[in-house]
Amino acid sequence: MVRLRIGMLLALATLLLAQPALGAERAGRARSVPASYQGRTIDLAQDWEGAQACMVRSSTDIRCADSATELEDGAAVAPVAAGSSTAQASACSSSYVRLYEHINFGGRLVMVGSTSGWFNLTWIGFNDAVSSWWNPTPCTALLAQDIWGGGTIYYMQGYSSSSWIGWFNDEASAVYVQQ
C-alpha cells in the first residue's frame, strides 16, 4: 500500500513538473526552428544575427540570407530539380508567400512555401511582426492572430498583395499556405 502511494505520488509529481513545458510548447514559445545562415546554424527565435530574409521551405528547413535577392537568386537555397516529386507537389509550392516586417514591403522578410499545417511565427522570432505581404502563388494563404491557427484569421488570396495589412498589422502569430 505504501509503495503504491509513493509510486502514485512520483507519477503525479512528474506530470506536474512536465506540465509547464508542455504548456509553453502549446503556447508556441518553447520550440524554435534552426535556420541556416552564412554556413552556420542560428536560432531565429533568439536572434536573426544579421539575416534580413529567411525562406521557410518546411518546418525543419529554413534558409536565411542578407537580402531577399540573395534568396531569390538561389545563393542561399539549392534549387529543386525539375521533375522531382518535390517540384511536382503543388502549384502552390512553386513560389513563396512573402511576409514583410514593415509597410510597403520593407524590413525583414519571411518567405513561406506550402505548409502541411500551421507554422507558428514565434518559432522564428517573427511573432506579431507582419505589416505587409505578397502572395505570388495561385493558392490562398492564411494568417492567424494566435498560434496554431487560433483567433482571427486573415486571408491572403492568390496573386495579390497588400502594402499595409491594416487592422491586422503586427497581429499575426501563425501562417498557413495551401498545398
What pLDDT is attached to residue 36?
95
Is the pTM value of this prediction over 0.85? no
Q: Are residues 141 and 168 in the same domain?
A: yes
Measure Cα distances from 71 to 29, 30, 65, 117, 146 in Å: 27, 28, 6, 23, 28
Q: Are residues 67 and 146 in the same domain?
A: yes
Rounded Cα distance between 140 and 43, Å, is 29
What pLDDT is attached to residue 30?
52
46: domain CATH number?
A: 2.60.20.10
What pLDDT is attached to residue 75?
53
Number of other CB atoms surrounding residue 145 within 10 Å: 16
What pLDDT is attached to residue 93?
66
Q: Are residues 57 and 138 in the same domain?
A: yes
What pLDDT is attached to residue 164?
97
Q: Are residues 17 and 84 in the same domain?
A: no
What pLDDT is attached to residue 94?
72
In the numeric block, which cell numbers belong to residue 126?
Answer: 517573427
What pLDDT is attached to residue 86?
44
Q: Are residues 18 and 38 in the same domain?
A: no
Walk along the chain (179 residues) in steps of 10 and give the mean pLDDT of each run: 40 34 45 90 95 92 93 61 43 84 98 89 96 94 97 97 97 93
Rounded Cα distance between 30 and 33, Å, is 10
Q: Are residues 87 and 56 in the same domain?
A: yes
Q: Are residues 61 and 26 in the same domain?
A: no
Q: Are residues 62 and 147 in the same domain?
A: yes
- Cβ neighbours of residue 4 closer than 8 Å, sequence gap 6 or more: none
